[in-house]
């Protein structure tokens, strides 16, 4: 009943979190999230290094395949009228690879936008939390100022008016003491005042980094799309130079793809470790950064019935003091106003102040309750650990697909352009015999 159903780690998080980790000496590393420990950093770097291994292996494979193709192809009789066997197969496998690359690009665009969605959910939750925290500070400041103003002006006037009757002055002094006590209790509620950590700043930093990450991926995706399309165009027009340029570009994009595989895999593994049990890490980090007591932080980060409201006592005391002030004012109005009509104006003004303060007090209670801030925390976690992680896995799939597709294309392209006729016409769709698509050489 207290907190609404919050964040729960997804199946992907569990799966990634269960993968074994090792440091550079291949000793097992526990999979708890500890980015400050050297062992854990080494485990993540090792995950990234696996991608480097993949790149090396695929480059070796391509080189061996092409050398074998160049050196071991059967000698072709000059002026032969039949094309080399498998020529069409090579072109078609190249087209299929490029199509797979295009499907990968679609997946990549989806993953990139999903990641971006998740991160923007994180930063909007941070902005919302910042809004709540600053609203608390602002409201407390306003209430304290209003009470202080009432004490300085109306209560002083009242005491001066009521001077002839000491018991009434004592009642007014009682109200003053209570009001001062309320103001003091309230000041203790502005718990985020003077805290060096600003969620707004964190949100801005996150958005800034995410913007460049998004842009980098969009550029990579567009580059790969252009490579695929121009390669297809080169095959269609049988333009040797275009296919050669695209072969070189494919090599470049292959290297970039493996690089991004490394980055994505390491980030996904780290993120899954964080997401499998985020509360202790976030609690510790926030405590270090803000210096707030663990009572307050556990109240907001856990928000269940086991953790009591750390402001409960202050709130109850303030509320009782406000109710007492109200009944004292009512008593004074009954006793004093018939005798001192000039006391009515400050009394009414004081009652108005108490009413407004009680209204603001309800708003403060609502703001201080853990529901709001805990919901932001849950939304931030869901953004990071569900949407962003899922997007990251889609990006990983894209990178793997494109690495595979580009490796296949790199194997096929040189064989395909070896089949092109020596001179190629420049017009596509010219209707001439030589512009027929993918027409093998020698026909």
- Contacts to a copy of itself by CB under 8 A: 1-2, 4-5, 82-83, 85-89, 91-93, 95, 99, 102-103, 105-106, 109-110, 113, 117, 128, 131-132, 135, 138-139, 236, 309, 312, 315-316, 319-320, 322-324, 326-327, 355, 358-359, 362-363, 365-369, 371-372, 375, 428-429, 431, 433, 435-440, 443
Least distance in angstroms from the C-beta of 428 to a copy of itself: 7
Nearer to a copy of itself, 14 or 371 (CB): 371
Q: How far apart are CA 25 and CA 42, in angstroms?
A: 9
Least distance in angstroms from the C-beta of 316 to a copy of itself: 5
Least distance in angstroms from the C-beta of 377 to a copy of itself: 14
Least distance in angstroms from the C-beta of 106 to a copy of itself: 3
Least distance in angstroms from the C-beta of 402 to a copy of itself: 14
Least distance in angstroms from the C-beta of 122 to a copy of itself: 15
Q: How far apart are CA 242 and CA 233, in angstroms?
A: 8
Looking at the DSSP bridge assignments, the partners of residue 28 are 22
Q: Counting beta carbons within 10 angstroms of the beta carbon of residue 337, is it exposed (0 to 12), middle (13 to 18) or buried (19 or more)? A: middle
Least distance in angstroms from the C-beta of 438 to a copy of itself: 5
Nearer to a copy of itself, 91 or 272 (CB): 91
Nearer to a copy of itself, 166 or 363 (CB): 363
DSSP 8-state code for residue 440: P
Nearer to a copy of itself, 78 or 431 (CB): 431
Nearer to a copy of itself, 280 or 359 (CB): 359
Phi, psi (rounded to 5 degrees) for 22: -145, 155
**Which residue from 403, 411, 413, 412 is spatially nearest to 104, judged by alpha carbons?**
403
SS (H, E, C) 290-355: HCCCHHHHHHHHHCCCCCCCCCHHHHHHHHHHHHHHHHHHHHHHHHHCCCCHHHHHHHHHHHHHHH
**Residue 371: CB partners within 8 Å, gap ≥ 6?**
2, 3, 4, 303
* Residue position matching structure tokens 């949407």: 387
Nearer to a copy of itself, 21 or 374 (CB): 374
Q: How far apart are CA 302 and CA 3, in angstroms?
A: 9
Q: 260: part of which helix (H) or strand (E)?
A: helix 240-276
Least distance in angstroms from the C-beta of 27 to a copy of itself: 41
Nearer to a copy of itself, 55 or 419 (CB): 419
Q: Counting beta carbons within 10 angstroms of the beta carbon of residue 248, is it exposed (0 to 12), middle (13 to 18) or buried (19 or more)? A: exposed
Tokens in use for 233?
């165009």
Least distance in angstroms from the C-beta of 103 to a copy of itself: 8
Q: How far apart are CA 138 and CA 58, in angstroms?
A: 60
Nearer to a copy of itself, 159 or 387 (CB): 387
Q: How far apart are CA 153 and CA 290, in angstroms?
A: 37
Nearer to a copy of itself, 4 or 280 (CB): 4
């Amino acid at each position: 009943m207290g907190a609404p159903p919050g964040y729960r780690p997804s199946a992907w998080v569990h799966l990634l979190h269960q993968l074994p980790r090792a440091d550079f000496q291949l000793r097992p590393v526990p999979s708890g999230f500890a980015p400050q420990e050297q062992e854990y950093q080494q485990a993540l770097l090792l995950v990234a290094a696996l991608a480097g291994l993949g790149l090396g292996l695929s480059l070796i494979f391509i080189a061996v395949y092409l050398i074998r193709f160049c050196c071991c192809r059967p000698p072709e009789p000059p002026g032969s009228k039949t094309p080399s066997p498998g020529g069409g197969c090579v072109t078609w496998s190249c087209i299929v690879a490029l199509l797979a690359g295009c499907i990968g690009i679609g997946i990549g665009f989806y993953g990139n936008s999903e990641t971006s969605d998740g991160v923007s959910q994180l930063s909007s939750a941070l902005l919302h939390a910042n809004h709540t925290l600053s609203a608390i500070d602002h409201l407390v400041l306003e209430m304290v100022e209003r009470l202080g103003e009432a004490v300085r002006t109306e209560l002083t006037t009242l005491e001066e008016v009521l001077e002839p009757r000491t018991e009434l002055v004592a009642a007014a002094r009682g109200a003053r003491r209570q009001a001062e006590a309320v103001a003091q209790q309230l000041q203790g509620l502005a718990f985020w005042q003077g805290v060096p950590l600003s969620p707004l700043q964190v949100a801005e930093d996150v958005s800034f980094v995410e913007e460049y990450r998004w842009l980098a991926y969009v550029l990579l995706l567009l580059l790969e799309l252009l490579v695929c399309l121009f390669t297809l165009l080169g095959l269609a027009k049988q333009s040797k130079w275009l296919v050669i340029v695209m072969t070189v570009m494919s090599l470049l994009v292959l290297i970039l793809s493996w690089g991004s595989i490394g980055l994505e895999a390491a980030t996904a593994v780290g993120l899954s470790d964080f997401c499998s049990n985020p509360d202790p890490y976030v609690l510790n980090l926030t405590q270090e950064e803000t210096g707030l007591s663990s009572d307050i932080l556990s109240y907001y980060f856990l928000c269940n019935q086991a953790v009591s409201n750390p402001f409960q006592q202050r709130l109850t005391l303030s509320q009782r003091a406000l109710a007492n002030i109200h009944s004292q004012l009512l008593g004074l109005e009954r006793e004093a106003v018939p005798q001192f009509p000039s006391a009515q104006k400050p009394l009414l003004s004081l009652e108005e102040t108490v009413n407004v303060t009680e209204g603001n007090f309800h708003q403060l209670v609502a703001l201080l309750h853990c529901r709001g801030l805990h919901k932001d925390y849950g939304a931030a976690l869901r953004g990071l650990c569900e949407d962003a992680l899922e997007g990251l896995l889609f990006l990983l799939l894209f990178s793997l697909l494109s690495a595979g597709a580009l490796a296949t294309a790199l194997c096929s392209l040189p064989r395909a352009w070896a089949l092109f006729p020596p001179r190629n016409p420049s017009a596509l769709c010219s209707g001439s015999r030589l512009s027929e698509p993918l027409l093998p050489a020698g026909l």
